[in-house]
Amino acid sequence: MIQDKPEPQDSSHRIATSDDIEVSTYLEIAKELGGEQPSPRSEVLPGAERETIVVIDFGSQYSLLIARRIRECQVYCELVSHDTPWEKIIPLNPKGFILSGGPASVYEDGAPMAPAYIYEKNLPVLGICYGMQVITHQLGGKVTPAAKREYGHAILHTSNVDSPLFADLDTSAPVWMSHGDQIEEMPPGFTSLAYTETSPFAVMGNDRNIFGLQFHPEVVHTPQGKTILKNFAHRICGCRGNWTMGSFVKDSLVRIKKQVGTGKVINALSGGVDSAVVASLIHHAIGDQLTCIFVNNGLLRREEAERTLNVFRRNLGMNTTYVDASQRFLERLKEVTDPEAKRKAIGEEFIKVFEEEAGKIGRVDFLAQGTLYPDVIESASSGSKAAAKIKTHHNVGGLPARMTLKLIEPLRYLFKDEVRQVGLELGLPEEMIWRQPFPGPGLAIRIIGEVTREKLEILRSADWIVMNEIKKAQLYRQLWQSFAILTDVKSVGVMGDYRTYGYLVAIRAVTSEDAMTADWSRLPYDLLARISNRIVNEVAGVNRVVYDITSKPPSTIEWE
């Protein structure tokens, strides 16, 4: 699906990127193609300071939430595939393992299992749902299909209150179950620590600090789940809790200086918090060796280019170049309707623009991007082989296979809320920090079907009304995202006694903590009515408005 790959010009200054590069191979790729580049994952905290809880991923939709919850306990956590070799784990300095849930059944042929080092290294292990069943199966217990499947809320009753796993926990607590298999016989040496009405072995453990939970502590439906995970990380694994954004900033500055040396960096500014934080972080590290480039790709919201430039030049105090490339992006997207093709085309065109601008600046060695951990996971360029590719993010899988610039992605292993904390540490203004996320491909993925200048103007007008009304209702900070989508559907309407045949606009507003899961917002009816009335009356070509009431999962936040 990648088209018009740029021809190599100088092979001594390239790295390769592709959809299927795994996080665990980052260091080899960088060393092979780009010389000595520090691996972000192995230098999150240097030397003896680094301590990590490693999540072994079996493909659960909640796997990344586990990592997030552990990080909320100020312990660094990373997600790796279930078949990651020990050699790739060593640089993380693991203090314990968590085995995630997953869709498989352990008694089926070919079901993924935990690697041998999980049990050989004498580190604490916590199995969650499928992870608990893996432990049972591999250590000599028995897992069978449950006579009564258990989905949704259950009450957990603690039968061993002295276990450190249950410190500061109520003896009876609500939990969230999601399983069709059950533990029929625990492995030798294990005892039951808690039970529910249908699961006599809802929690099990042994004297080697290997535990299993049949429920999901990482989801909000298990209110005291974070306490269990904190107990595992601190009381059982002995982690000190030194993963803070202050320490991240300090160590990132050292790492960036080491990586860049005397080289020059260009940073792709988009107006969002991610690119702003990257720019500020790198500028603190290397000063005038950084040049920021703001590309107007023609896919921005109304007045966004002007407002973004004003904010950057007023607050960041760094070299900033403005490039109006709107026409070339529109030409590149002509007759492109497939969402993945859109993302890849936009990603490639961005790189071409940056490389051209770099040539005007002089010798430039690095391109900085605001890639985040969820971007990497959803693009399936890291994490578990069992995880499906949801969509290609333009700055991950959307990059061309050969590039003249090396990548700097200091936020690659952070969640959005962590990025905002970094921004606060760096002193960025609140208008940057709390800006709602806006996708890198811009309005192109909020227009279903081909992107045209006419459709962009329609969507900009509708989106402007949505944002205006949301802010007037003082709901902007409460929502993760709120925006309009121009669908490819037309419907019949009546306006001024005349028949119309206009576009259908959809409104999307969601609440979320990290965008890995999201719930549709219950906006007030009168607010929805005002938005609908204004769009139909003020935006030419639109005669119908609908509200998206789908959560993530099963949907994604963006429509494409």
Catalytic (active-site) positions: 129, 216, 218
- Rg, the chain, Cα only: 25
Contacts of 80 (CB under 8 A, 6+ apart): 23, 24, 54, 55, 56, 57, 88, 89, 383, 384
Question: How far is it, in rounded angstroms, from Cα 383 to Cα 347?
Answer: 22
Distances in Å between the Cα of 160 and the Cα atoms of 75, 163, 171, 205, 232 are 26, 6, 9, 10, 16
Question: How far is it, in rounded angstroms, from Cα 251 to Cα 242?
Answer: 12
Which of 262, 259, 233 has the alpha carbon at shortest distance from 43? 259
Contact 274, 419 (CB under 8 A): yes
What is the three-class DSSP state of 328? Answer: helix
Question: How far is it, in rounded angstroms, from Cα 181 to Cα 147?
Answer: 8
Distances in Å between the Cα of 541 and the Cα atoms of 116, 241, 465 are 62, 55, 15
Residue 153's DSSP bridge partners are 176
* φ, ψ dihedrals at 248, nearest 5°: -60, -45
Pairing mode, if any, of strands 519-520 and 498-511? antiparallel
Contacts of 225 (CB under 8 A, 6+ apart): 69, 175, 176, 215, 216, 217, 218, 219
Long-range contacts of 492-497 (CB under 8 A, 24+ apart): 492/543, 493/543, 493/544, 495/536, 495/543
Which of 314, 292, 156, 270 has the alpha carbon at shortest distance from 224? 156
Question: How far is it, in rounded angstroms, from Cα 142 to Cα 182?
Answer: 9
CA 227 to chain centre: 23
Question: How far is it, in rounded angstroms, from Cα 222 to Cα 385?
Answer: 27
Residue 52's DSSP bridge partners are 76, 94
